[in-house]
Structure 1
Amino acid sequence: MQQFAGGNERFLRRYEYDDSWVIAADIGLSEDEVDVDIVGSTAIVVADTGASVTETEFELPAGDAEVGVQNGVLTITIQK
């Protein structure tokens, strides 16, 4: 497991399993407030709270990615 904290102190965790990588970020937003695009090996996360819009990019391991947001946690699962 690797763990990173950005300038806003939100945590990003990366877990490695036998068949996949899982990246989880506590964003504290609903699915309607977050848009995630995967371009190549880059995740582009746009958060629109109505009061402000922020964009964050980070690199992903290579593979097919599946994105979900539940209870304020963004999860990206990449199959190896």
Structure 2
Amino acid sequence: MSLQQFANPDERFLRRYEYDDQWVVAGDLGVADDRVDVDVVGSTAIVVVEREDEAEAEFEFELPGAEAEVLMRNGVLTITGSR
């Protein structure tokens, strides 16, 4: 397993785990699930976070592959894919 950690300008940390047969990108966005919109275009994930008292935040990052499954649960974003 390999692990990478990175942050966007708003200091939202994401971690990428790579295994022999799959990869996982996960991060706690700290907002309700219905305030997050995630699109995967090719191998790029685009995340838009709506905040109550602040401007909308948008960030994007590269994924290890183009086939991805996105799950938001309790404010935690998880994107998984196969190798």
TM-score bin, normalised by smaller chain: 0.7 to 0.9
Q: Distance in 1 between matches of 2:62 and 2:50?
A: 21
Shift of 1:4: 1.3
Gaps in structure 2 of 5+ consecutive residues: none
Q: RMSD of the alignment, in Å?
A: 1.4
Secondary structure of the equivalent of 1:23?
strand
Shift of 1:56: 0.6
Question: Which residue of 1 is the match for residue 12 of structure 2?
Answer: 10
Q: 1:36 aligns with which of 32, 35, 38?
A: 38
Identity %: 61
Gaps in structure 1 of 5+ consecutive residues: none
Q: Does 1:60 align with 2:76?
A: no
| Deviant stretches of 4+, over 3 Å | none
Offset from partner CA, 1:18-55 (integer Å, 9 cap, x none)? 22110011211122000100101110101112443111
Paired positions, count: 80
Q: Is the 8 A contact 2:45 2:62 kept in 1?
A: yes
> Could you tell me the TM-score, scaled by structure 1's length?
0.87
Q: Quick check: 42-51 or 14-23, which moved more? A: 42-51
